[in-house]
Amino acid sequence: MSYMIYTDCNKTDDKETNMTYIKINFNSNDGLKMTADLYEVDKPKGFIVLCHRSHCNRAEYRETAPRLNELGYSCLAIDQRSGMKVFGETNETKDRAKAKGLPTGYLDAKPDIEAAIDYAYELNGKNKIILFGSSYSASLALLISTQTDKVKATIAFSPGEYLKGVNLAGEIKSIDKPTYVTSPKAEIQQVTDVIKNVNPTLLTHFIPTADGFHGSKTLWKEVSGHETYWTSLKLFLSSI
């Protein structure tokens, strides 16, 4: 696959939020043009691919990615084809998929995440990246992590048995890299059921005492208890 670095790039600087990112495009594994926001730092300690939850888009990470930048990580927040317009942003990958008559279910987004991994791997000097998923994309992140050597660690917020025809708990028993999972309090058992076969020496399961929120939105400042999730996530990142 050939990579188009900064194709159709558009740098955004938001002085109110101290947020800087570059809007880029690259192709999914089936040739569909994807949109993503690239948040770069100088001399990063790692590179994180950020995948959004259902009915969402790359803007899910407009608050989270800058905090990850502060921790020393460059980030690529992508639009998967399974999503929608929300948070004041359009899911451009979904719009292109619909225009082409392509399916936009959860599993249909798998080649988008796989392409983003390949793209980030190249941007990261062909060094392994960290894969970060939210809700259905957390499930995809866990699944894909068993199928690639380009991911060095996986972060999954609110994974579940969301993938039609896939027994996720069975499929991810072969995970061979550090894995972090968490959820709101109401989803603790759901997550426990998904990760029951994962090697416990590779697993960090943060069980919250705060109610939290579904997916990575639990890291947002507006969510009560968000800092407890951040503390746990920082400890995991520092361990890898």
Taking only the tens place, the pLDDT of each residue in 60-114 is 999 999 999 999 999 999 999 999 999 889 999 999 999 999 999 999 999 999 9
| pTM of the shown model | 0.92
Instruction: Measure the CA angle with vertex 42, ends 37 and 48; round to 5°.
Output: 45
Taking only the tens place, the pLDDT of each residue in 149-190 is 999 999 999 999 999 999 999 999 999 999 999 999 999 999
CA distance 240 to 237: 5
Taking only the tens place, the pLDDT of each residue in 8-53 is 555 555 544 455 899 999 999 999 999 999 999 999 999 999 999 9
First to last CA, the chain: 29
Q: What is the 3-state secondary structure (H, E, C) of the chain?
A: CCCCCCEEEEEEEECCCCEEEEEEEEECCCCCEEEEEEECCCCCCEEEEECCCCCCCHHHHCCHHHHHHHCCEEEEEECCCCCCCECCECCHHHHHHHHCCCCCCCHHHHHHHHHHHHHHHHHCCCCCEEEEEECHHHHHHHHHHCCCCCEEEEEEECCCCCCCCCCHHHHHHHCCCCEEEECCHHHHHHHHHHCCCCCHHHEEEECCCCCCCCHHHHHCCCCCCHHHHHHHHHHHHHHC
CA distance 127 to 17: 30
**pLDDT at residue 5 above 50?**
no
**pLDDT at residue 239 above 70?**
yes
